[in-house]
Structure 1
Amino acid sequence: MTTPQSPVKTASLGVTNAVFIGRSIRHSLRNIEALTMAVVLPIMLMLLFTYVFGGAIDPGGNYVNYVVPGIILLCAGFGSSSTAVDVAEDMTNGIIDRFRTMPIKSLGVITGHVAASLVRNLIATGVVIGVALLVGFRPTAAGLEWIAAASLIALFILAFTWLYAAIGLVAGSPAAASGYGFALLFLPYLSSAFVPTDTMPTWLQGVAENQPITPVIEAIRGLLTGAPAHDQIWKAALWCMLILLVSMLWSMWTFRRKAGRR
């Protein structure tokens, strides 16, 4: 008489996510070039705008305080964009099919990429702020304002990382994911990151003032430097939460359609 075999139990969601987060962090640590460029490129742009263009834009020498919030988001964007390539690689190299044969929630691979990117980009953002302080950035924020700014930056990184994850899922290859993701990196240049929007042509002001990057930059600028923020903080939070919600739903729907449900 044969004894019926017990069904294989699926690993809990928390254990699955922890495993995939560890996997993504190890991959990030091995890809030193990408991690370095995500930090070095924004720093180079900050030095370029501060020392080359800053004197022409703001002869008073305060341009560094204006430009740093935009550089912070540029750093976050560069760092998050690699998520699209990482997700596209997993979707095209067959690893997802292997995960589906294991007693785990295969959607955790996407969550792992997002969580690892959040940690990686928060560290990179801290490095950029440290360099900014060395080149003359002088924030006036108190403790609560720093906490609010850091929370908003983390929310922005999380929202755009999920957006890049969705792009990686719909892209046909890592190269295509890189190309699609690169287009989003132009948004900070069409915002108040480097110059006030009222200095732009009238037709461009409408674009700059009504896209999600501008309120986030203005909110961070207001929190860190005391610049007038008005209702930008709430607008920034709402934009980030909207992008986060849409991106998560898009990612989950696309993943289930491509990889199948568990």
Structure 2
Amino acid sequence: PFTLRMGVAEHSKVQYIANCPFFAIFSMEIVKALAMQLQPQVYSYWDIIIQYGDVGREMYFLEKGSVEVVSGDGDTIYATLTQGNFFGETALFFKQKRTATVRSAEFCEVYMLTKQILDSELMQHDFDMSRMLEIFNKLQETNRKRNAAVSKNLADAQNNSTKLYKLVDSTQAVASNQKNIKAFLPNSPFRCVWDIVHLVFLLANGVMIPFFGAFMTEDSGHNFEAAVIIFTVIDVTFVADIILQFNFFPYL
């Protein structure tokens, strides 16, 4: 029923506000008031929700779909956010330019909360904004330290003298080997094609050897040369199969 859907939607809005770390100190009255003011927005694939360099005045809660946080040029993906995540929150506290672009990775539904609505509701409820700003700054500092650690790890991963590089390098090697093994598994498309070709050549070899042995001589001209080429191809295939069996194909 429509009323039930509306009730679920209103409940999810309340949860978005209540679960946001820097809104945790709000009374339920303020939480519900802000939830009622959330504005639904819909975006299609690859739409820009937040543009790098713009001065923001709103934050977003992701209700459905996923978005990518990318660099200003769009070439580097910093993070992928899914249902329940929020982004753009800095715009509610500081008047500064966006530091990244956020674009939809698929069809998305979001709820938007503007700074104007937040300020208005807090003023009506006589709430001390400095308390929330203090919590936000602490969260930002925690995120800054975490991002700095991630950046350091990424830099270490590029330095071949560090343990992290060796760990990442070995992990990549294992992943590469696993990818190769998957390609050579008995039920893989490659193995199916290879086994069929091998069977055809084996049957052809079994039929043609007695035939050519009985009827083919060097006086046969082109037919003799064709036979030599065919047997050479078959022999090469058999050799390749032996190499694959011993080095790449997993044991059954």
Q: TM-score range by the shorter chain?
A: under 0.3
Question: TM (normalized to structure 2)?
Answer: 0.23
Higher percent of residues as helix: 1
More strand by share: 2
Question: Relative contact order (alpha carbons < 8 A, sep ≥ 6): 1 or 2 greater?
Answer: 1
Instruction: State the structure with more CA Rg.
Output: 2
